[in-house]
Structure 1
Amino acid sequence: MLLIGLIVLTAFSGSARALQQSESLHLGLEPSHLAYPASLPKEGYTFSELFFVNYSDTLAGRIITIQYYNNSEWWNLTSFTGNSIGFTQVYVPVTAYWAHNGENTLRAVSSVYVSNTVTLMVSENAGGFVADGALYALIIVLTLGLILLADKVSPKKFILIMLAAYIIIAPFTGQRYDVYFLITSGIRVLEHVNPFNPGQPPAYPYPLKWAYPPLYPLYSTLAFLIYSLITHTGVPSTSATVYPGYYTAIYSVWRGYVTPSMPLLVFLLKIPMILSYLVVYRVLRSRVGERVAIKQWSANPLALLVCAIWGQLDPIAAALALLSLDSYSRGRMHYAYLCAALGGAIKLWPAVLIPIYLAQTVRLGVARALRPILISVIPVAVASIGVYAYFGHPLQTLSILVYSRGVPTYAGEFSVNGLTWQWILYFLKSPPIPLFLFAGPVVYAAILIHAHRHPKADPTVLLMLIILTLFLTYNYVNPQYFLWVIPLLIIQGRRISAWVFTALPLLYVGLSYNAFYFVSPAILYDTYAPSASIAEELKLAFFYNYKPLFITITGIIPLFVYILEARAQMRRVKMRSEEPLAQ
């Protein structure tokens, strides 16, 4: 229903794609028709129009100016310096200072070079706010309806309903930036190009590398081969998938690969996420009962967002970590180690369980404790390193992985993102500090010592403390990270906490993302075509620029929640360190 609502609202969408031109200077824009949901403001929060400027090498290093036509004269609007790529994507706030309802004529100039003229049609569409409000009302009603439905139908019937919804929604949605990396990692493998390290000279821009462990790109390769076999789509060259505007608009890199049959490829790429959703349900059902698993997990809107809509690796890692913990509690050591190792080959964090297991079992004998590592962990580690070695320079590639995960960056620059108090440092003009690199090892060492001294301590609690330490000290706490802890909280019976850790990221996504950015570009290439999407952009402008609200939502409330949950987990450590593991 959410997907249908989005499609209905975007039925009149158009597209204005930026294409390389042979002229010395060419200007394009998106959207070409701006359905502004109110009167244009003179200043303040507004929507920013996208301009695509193509130019020849002659203009590299020169000032290029976008101008608007008014009162029989051309007036300067904004300027930038041409780059060696010959393409720049520029965002220009649309205000009554230069724009008006009706046709607005613009061009780009640089010295004697003059581009073509483009027309921006502006109209006032008060229905934009109404449509956007209706969209969120629909989302809320459907979410509450699913939660209530979980109590009304049998668990088997409900899980089938949810599975059908996941399968229907998955192909036509996706966080465009993240889906681009899911796609291109496999394409580069097929092109025999290192997806983890662009090398020197770079085969593609450094910010577009795959900055995670190597297992998923292998699946992406298989998915693209199946997609190619079904659709007869050829494997594009690495350069063909690089959007030339990445330098100034990294979140637009998705424009580097869009095809009419893209929904099929996206569905194939999301199959592991959907299967992970089912795996988590199955484990929870065996641990807390069918009804609780249905209400707390199967009907969880964050699970739907991340597993079916977004397209991220976190559900896979969470499922493998949960399988590992469940296997460990049942004494299936080899399987516990294997799942933790495979999870670490998807995203690193599940691998932190391996030393915990080792610390708790080493008292049974060194040989016995090491046997699962030799049989289950080392083969996965060797295979992962082998993938890096296949493309050459494995040590350098591993160092890139460690740096990328230890100090996460945005387009290669140190930054802050998500639900973290470090936004406060950012707005105080203080460079974000990689606290996790200092606090993380200390906390982890203390947890390992505790695990060794208390071999019956619950690894679920210890893992929760590690994750909460990351949330408290890491400069990136993205919404999908919360999916790591929700199954753990459900197992612990902390149902209120599970819903708090569901509501926080949902609130953040609702305020910080344009909902139409999650619609497949194969359906809606121009994200800003609907008036409701412009209303979404005005929401973003307000949220990111009204600092008291932004800091409260992204920093203060999450910090309070993390600290409270960490204290609760510490109490569990003290109370349960000598209790037997749950069977």
Structure 2
Amino acid sequence: MLQFLVFVLLSLHASSVCHISLSAEPQPLNYPLKELPTAGASFSETFFVNYTGVNRSLTLQYFSGSWYNITSFGANYLGFSEIKVPVTAYWAHFGKNELRVVSGSCESNTLELDIVQANGVGQDALLYFVVLSSVFLILALSKLLPSRAFVALMFVTYFALSPFTGQRYDMFFLISSGVHILEGVSPFGNSELYPFSLKWAYPPLYPLWSALSFAFYSFVTKASVPQPQSLVYLGYLTSTYSMWRAFAPHSLPLLAFLLKLPMLLSVFVTYFVLSKKVGQRLAATYWLANPLVILVGSIWGQLDPLSTAFALLSFVEYERGRAGRAHLYAALGASFKIWPALLIPFYLLDTLRKKSFSFKQVLPLFPVVALNLLVYAFYGSLLFSLFVLVYARGVPTYAGQFSVNGLTWQWILYLLNSPPIPLFLYVAPPSYVALCYYVYKRGFDLRVLIFLIVLLFLTYNYVNPQYFVWLIPFFLLLNKRVWSVVYSVLPMVFVFLSYNLFYFVSPSLLYDYYAPSASILEELKLWVFYQVKPLFILVSAIVPTAFFILTEISLFKSKC
């Protein structure tokens, strides 16, 4: 009798701790075809499963008279999984679909998934018509309006777009870095409160701005500062790219605007510097009205306009004979993204060649370097943080794995079933030494800098679309307008084909960016781009690499 009571109590306890919850996105699912495929490639539905217990198997089932299995997956220690399931006629049909998750005798709520035929072709066409019309209208106005009126118009445009847009994954890191600072936690990877791959892998100054932005945002909205653990999306193990889901409040536009403010201002700093060098009209058309600059500087939320503005200021000051200011601006630019630091050895060697070097010229470097080191040291191990920075930038990874991204010839290696090559580690250092030797012997000018950046594009395994912003101002200074257009079009075509445009809408306005009927057509576009290998390789590898090589050849010939 006692054994029976113990068994009953244990059974009741097991049932009390057994819990599974099922939800899905999008709801409803707008499917673009009249019939669901019986097998093979299809669009996917994302299922979110919360559960208790680990080391057990869970099974997603559909109902058709009785319950049938779709797929099984293992429980993880987080108690949450994000599962993507292709929508096929094997388990789905137009109309209401009933689904659940089971594990032994434990079962979830029954989820009703409504699958309807999409009618978003017109909506998607209208979206592209509006986007393209806006681009051409802005370009036309850059030539028709008086310069001051156009600058005012673009100021409003940039600032109006920024709160309601963002590349969701990258915006998460802009937010989390500041939250970690406010909570006294190192954002640079040496903390057990978040996975190592969610570290801030760039120089340390921007997290300080992020912290100030979040503090002001918190003061205005009365929102509390999240605990670092709460910014780790539970689906991290199964869908790292969904980290943005960890923080998406309705008041996000204010925070997004504050986070992007340095980038917005840097776009206009670059314009004003260019307008003094190449003229207001040219700077307005090829920089302010440039769709790539609008995307990266206002919509995306990336640091590249900031580092580019400092690099441009540095070069212009050096050209004017103000080496001290040139070193200062280069160091400040490198405090956000490393690449402007590459200018400093060129300046040193060029002044040595001219016999005009003085220690006073490099003095501005010391406070900037000291500030960066102080931030690293204050928030943890200085040496470890520096190692993380060097490793993350030398061998960029995604979720801790060495990979390829953007517009690079290394995509071809994937077609050949070959792993990507860390070519940058082997080619870039000796090439940079050779360029330094050239500068010491022949002098430094703009072509050397452009040659170096394009060489980086040829050897780096990550050539993200935002990197192309680095080159635009320097092409204009060199009077290479066609190059500035080419290096703007290449990344824009890549972004157009590789992104669902709804992904750039703020989650506070459109949390489920798959929900619009037109979004499924955006996903169809992505499927075509990534599955039609000749198209993907042509856009991502062959065409950009060909232009990189042609640029290097042209620069080399002009210096010989």
Tell me the TM-score normalised to structure 1 length: 0.91
Whether the 8 Å CA contact 1:37–1:532 is kept in 2: the answer is: no
Distance in 2 (CA, whole Å) between partners of 1:506 and 1:134 is 19
Whether the 8 Å CA contact 1:421–1:559 is kept in 2: the answer is: yes
1:100 aligns with 2:93: yes
Corresponding residue number in structure 2 for 1:46: 42
Distance in 2 (CA, whole Å) between partners of 1:145 and 1:43 is 45
In the TM superposition, residue 294 of structure 1 has moved relative to its aligned partner by 1.1
Distance in 2 (CA, whole Å) between partners of 1:96 and 1:338 is 63
Corresponding residue number in structure 1 for 2:186: 194
Distance in 1 (CA, whole Å) between partners of 2:533 and 2:338 is 33
Alignment of 1:303-318 (within 5 A): 303-318=293-308
1:172 aligns with 2:164: yes
Query: In structure 1, the residue corresponding to 2:194 is in which secondary structure?
Result: coil
Query: In structure 1, the residue corresponding to 2:77 is in which secondary structure?
Result: coil
Which of structures 1 and 2 has the larger relative contact order (alpha carbons within 8 angstroms, sep 6+)?
1
Corresponding residue number in structure 2 for 1:217: 207
Corresponding residue number in structure 1 for 2:524: 538
Of 409, 414, 428, which aligns to 2:397? 409
Of 520, 533, 536, which aligns to 1:547? 533
Corresponding residue number in structure 2 for 1:90: 83
In the TM superposition, residue 24 of structure 1 has moved relative to its aligned partner by 2.1
Query: Deviations along 1:145-188, whole A, 9 cap, x unmatched?
Result: 11111111111110110110111110000000000100110000
Distance in 1 (CA, whole Å) between partners of 2:359 and 2:497 is 48
Query: In structure 1, the residue corresponding to 2:518 is in which secondary structure?
Result: helix
Query: Deviations along 1:353-407, whole A, 9 cap, x unmatched?
Result: 00000010013558x343322x211211111011110012110111011111110
Distance in 1 (CA, whole Å) between partners of 2:415 and 2:82 is 26
Distance in 2 (CA, whole Å) between partners of 1:323 and 1:47 is 48
Corresponding residue number in structure 1 for 2:359: 370
Distance in 2 (CA, whole Å) between partners of 1:425 and 1:28 is 38
| Matched AA of 2:145 | V
Whether the 8 Å CA contact 2:96–2:112 is kept in 1: the answer is: yes
> Sequence identity of aligned pairs in percent?
49
Distance in 2 (CA, whole Å) between partners of 1:151 and 1:22 is 68
Alignment of 1:280-429 (within 5 A): 280-365=270-355, 368-373=357-362, 375-429=363-417
Query: In structure 1, the residue corresponding to 2:235 is in which secondary structure?
Result: helix
Whether the 8 Å CA contact 2:32–2:520 is kept in 1: the answer is: yes
Corresponding residue number in structure 1 for 2:554: 568
1:28 aligns with 2:55: no
Distance in 1 (CA, whole Å) between partners of 2:539 and 2:491 is 10
1:131 aligns with 2:119: no
| Matched AA of 2:44 | S
Query: In structure 1, the residue corresponding to 2:153 is in which secondary structure?
Result: helix
Corresponding residue number in structure 2 for 1:121: 114
Query: In structure 2, the residue corresponding to 1:107 is in which secondary structure?
Result: strand
Whether the 8 Å CA contact 2:18–2:106 is kept in 1: the answer is: no
Corresponding residue number in structure 2 for 1:14: none
Whether the 8 Å CA contact 2:189–2:198 is kept in 1: the answer is: no
Distance in 1 (CA, whole Å) between partners of 2:415 and 2:56 is 32
| Matched AA of 1:155 | S
In the TM superposition, residue 544 of structure 1 has moved relative to its aligned partner by 1.0
Q: Structure 2: any 5+ residue segments left out of the alignment?
A: 1-15
Distance in 1 (CA, whole Å) between partners of 2:513 and 2:71 is 23
Corresponding residue number in structure 2 for 1:6: none
Distance in 2 (CA, whole Å) between partners of 1:529 and 1:464 is 43
Query: In structure 2, the residue corresponding to 1:75 is in which secondary structure?
Result: strand
Corresponding residue number in structure 2 for 1:512: 498
Query: In structure 2, the residue corresponding to 1:531 is in which secondary structure?
Result: coil
Distance in 2 (CA, whole Å) between partners of 1:55 and 1:527 is 25
Query: Larger radius of gyration, structure 1 or 2?
Result: 2
Distance in 2 (CA, whole Å) between partners of 1:82 and 1:276 is 47
In the TM superposition, residue 432 of structure 1 has moved relative to its aligned partner by 0.7
Whether the 8 Å CA contact 2:159–2:298 is kept in 1: the answer is: yes
Distance in 2 (CA, whole Å) between partners of 1:533 and 1:42 is 23
Whether the 8 Å CA contact 1:88–1:244 is kept in 2: the answer is: yes
Corresponding residue number in structure 1 for 2:69: 76
Whether the 8 Å CA contact 1:46–1:541 is kept in 2: the answer is: no
Distance in 2 (CA, whole Å) between partners of 1:489 and 1:181 is 30
| Matched AA of 2:20 | L
Runs in 1 of length 4+ with deviation above 4 angstroms? none
Distance in 1 (CA, whole Å) between partners of 2:150 and 2:378 is 45
In the TM superposition, residue 229 of structure 1 has moved relative to its aligned partner by 1.5
Query: In structure 1, the residue corresponding to 2:101 is in which secondary structure?
Result: strand
Whether the 8 Å CA contact 2:194–2:228 is kept in 1: the answer is: yes
Query: Deviations along 1:497-523, whole A, 9 cap, x unmatched?
Result: 111111111100010001011000011
Query: Deviations along 1:436-481, whole A, 9 cap, x unmatched?
Result: 11110111011100111123x31x2111111111110111000000
Corresponding residue number in structure 1 for 2:228: 238
Whether the 8 Å CA contact 2:190–2:384 is kept in 1: the answer is: no
| Matched AA of 2:210 | S
Distance in 2 (CA, whole Å) between partners of 1:370 and 1:540 is 54
Distance in 2 (CA, whole Å) between partners of 1:27 and 1:486 is 48
Corresponding residue number in structure 2 for 1:470: 456
Distance in 2 (CA, whole Å) between partners of 1:467 and 1:98 is 51
Q: Which region of structure 1 is more displaced relative to structure 2, 40-49 or 478-487?
A: 40-49
Distance in 2 (CA, whole Å) between partners of 1:64 and 1:31 is 22
1:67 aligns with 2:61: yes
In the TM superposition, residue 212 of structure 1 has moved relative to its aligned partner by 0.4
In the TM superposition, residue 45 of structure 1 has moved relative to its aligned partner by 4.1
In the TM superposition, residue 528 of structure 1 has moved relative to its aligned partner by 1.0
Whether the 8 Å CA contact 2:404–2:462 is kept in 1: the answer is: yes
Of 487, 491, 511, which aligns to 1:501? 487
How many residues are matched? 544
1:525 aligns with 2:511: yes
Q: Which region of structure 1 is more displaced relative to structure 2, 315-324 or 89-98?
A: 89-98
Superposed CA RMSD: 1.4
In the TM superposition, residue 43 of structure 1 has moved relative to its aligned partner by 3.8
Distance in 2 (CA, whole Å) between partners of 1:51 and 1:535 is 20
Corresponding residue number in structure 2 for 1:8: none
Distance in 2 (CA, whole Å) between partners of 1:138 and 1:62 is 50
Distance in 1 (CA, whole Å) between partners of 2:303 and 2:160 is 19
Query: In structure 2, the residue corresponding to 1:122 is in which secondary structure?
Result: strand
In the TM superposition, residue 572 of structure 1 has moved relative to its aligned partner by 2.8
| Matched AA of 2:278 | V
Corresponding residue number in structure 2 for 1:149: 141
In the TM superposition, residue 115 of structure 1 has moved relative to its aligned partner by 1.2
Query: Deviations along 1:386-431, whole A, 9 cap, x unmatched?
Result: 1110012110111011111110001001111100010111232211
Query: In structure 1, the residue corresponding to 2:22 is in which secondary structure?
Result: strand
Distance in 1 (CA, whole Å) between partners of 2:190 and 2:514 is 32
| Matched AA of 1:179 | M
Relative to structure 1, the CA distance from residue 69 to residue 369 in structure 2 (aligned partners, 3 Å threshold; closer, same or farther) is farther
In the TM superposition, residue 77 of structure 1 has moved relative to its aligned partner by 1.3
Q: Which region of structure 1 is more displaced relative to structure 2, 106-115 or 154-163?
A: 106-115
